[in-house]
Amino acid sequence: MQVWKEYQAQHKERFLEELLELLRIPSISADSRYNNDTKRCAEAVKEQLIKAGADNVEVCPTAGHPIVYGEKMIDPALPTVLVYGHYDVQPPDPLELWHSGPFEPVIKDGKIFARGSADDKGQFYMHVKAFETMSATNTLPCNVKFMIEGEEEVGSNNLGKFLEENKERLEADVVLISDTSMISLENPSIDTGLRGLSYMEVEVTGPNRDLHSGVYGGAVANPATILAKMIASLHDENNHITIPGFYDDVIDLSAAEREALNKAPFDEEAYKKDLGVKELWGEKGYTTIERTGIRPTCEVNGIWGGYTGEGAKTVLPSKAHAKISMRLVPNQDWVKISDLFKTHFEKIAPASVQVKVTAHHGGSPYVTPTDHIAYKAASQAIVSTFGKDPIPVRGGGSIPIVALFEKILGLKTVLLGFGLDSDNLHSPNEKFDLANYYKGIETIPYFHQHFAALSK
């Protein structure tokens, strides 16, 4: 559609400036010290949706961070696309590893460096600008609804309730999300699945106070040592997870499915080089693509205990802690897995320590049916702008609420991501390529066009 191209070429600079404005707001949902910024970010999203042409735009309060809603209903007879995204971001630490301020976006080598640039401000904003393009050029082929939340990075704890209470307002034919990545602009791909998540925190307590490691060392269980032994025991020598029952509900892919999955272009040497590791690591019997796509994992996200400051302190600590999360695959149930972990972790704790296990949050895995017309529309949209068919891949990340959309709203989700695995999501120097940003804005209108056509 020539008219889209012209409009977007004309407003290219502004599309970027507006995104940078959004990236300057430190909307860190995990850290309550930033609650005001998170609120400010929601208001900014509301303003942009109004400017883009949405109606009934509203910042909807929740028990946590608010959800921004907006819509454009041009004709109830036409299909409706519900666009989901999140304006909250991960904490930026370790700050010292950033080359520039996480909330002072800079453009370098054609990339936007800032926390949230790819996850997910840059990606949901593509939809806002694509919507503006269609509105401004009177080419919107279907109804559009926006639901941009502020708690995705902390488990979307209040979204379920919001869905329940707004079923009517959220009525649609499909959910469209750009919060994943593609292999590359040369090898466009669409995630056909997401892993689930179970995020736990454990506290191991030894003695009731920090002790002198000389006076008591050797006679009292050291909680850091015990925690290390417990964590070490979670994987066996083949890196299989040892929690009893952990794999029970996993649906193994057929040989054919695995073969298809491994057709995706993957350069192990380049992968290792990019990560700076001599050797990869993972579950025996599976390829890297399978380990990150169709296999569940158990990762330590954080560990701490005892003296971690400058110099030396000869202390035998009273407590040691760890944040441990598991990625889940169809059809593992995150609540069941959280329970299995808790039961197991408490069971393997020796009598010389006390263990407290708490669940942070979780979400179920999801698989997109590739025969769904929305998936076909996404596929055709990629063809329209990339000139080639997208490669279907299984994403390793989690968007816990995708399963909720199906459960509560009865809607399938299409994951039309434009990021790259190298975007440093959740890491220092997160970035989003300008080319991907603009390519997304260019591609999304085609999705709506094809979806409307296929819905007839």
Angle of CA points 443, 184, 132, to nearest 5°: 20
Within 337-376, which residues bind a second copy (CB under 8 A)? Answer: 350-353, 360-361
- The β-bridge partners of 158 are none
Query: What letter would DSSP give residue 31?
Result: -
Q: Under rule CB under 8 A, which residues in 293-332 are in contact with a second copy?
A: 295-297, 299-317, 320-323, 325, 327
DSSP letters spanning 342-411:
HHHHHHSS-TTSEEEEEEEEEE--EE--TTSHHHHHHHHHHHHHHSSPPEEEE--S--THHHHIIIII--
Q: Which of 292, 364, 413, 443 binds a second copy (CB under 8 A)?
A: 292
Instruction: Name the minimum Å distance from CB 110 to a second copy.
Output: 20
SS3 state of residue 106:
strand
Q: How far is the CB of 118 from a second copy (least distance, A)?
A: 10
Q: Which of 63, 256, 270, 275 is the binder for a second copy (CB under 8 A)? A: 275
Q: Cβ of residue 425: shortest distance to a second copy, in angstroms?
A: 4
Q: Does 394 bind a second copy (CB under 8 A)?
A: no
Site for a second copy in 57-116 (CB under 8 A): 90-91, 93-94, 97
- What's the CA angle centered on 441, arms 439 and 447, to 5 degrees? 95
Q: Given candidates 80, 429, 436, 443, which one binds a second copy under the rule CB under 8 A?
A: 429
Instruction: Name which of residues 195 to 224 contact a second copy (CB under 8 A).
Output: 195, 197, 199, 201, 206-222, 224
**How many residues sit in the footprint of a second copy (CB under 8 A)?**
101
* Residue number with CB closer to a second copy (40 or 321): 321
Which of 184, 262, 288, 384 contacts a second copy by CB under 8 A? 288
3-state secondary structure of 272: helix
* Beta carbon of residue 359, minimum distance to a second copy (angstroms, whole number): 10
Q: Report if residue 396 touches a second copy, rule: CB under 8 A.
A: yes
Contact of 124 with 83, CB cutoff 8 Å: yes
Q: How many residues does the chain have?
A: 456
* CA nearest neighbour of 385 among 324, 330, 438: 438
Instruction: Give yes or no for a contact between 341 and 243, defined as CB atoms under 8 angstroms apart.
Output: yes
Residue numbers 144-183 binding a second copy by CB under 8 A: 153-155, 181
Least distance in angstroms from the C-beta of 319 to a second copy: 9
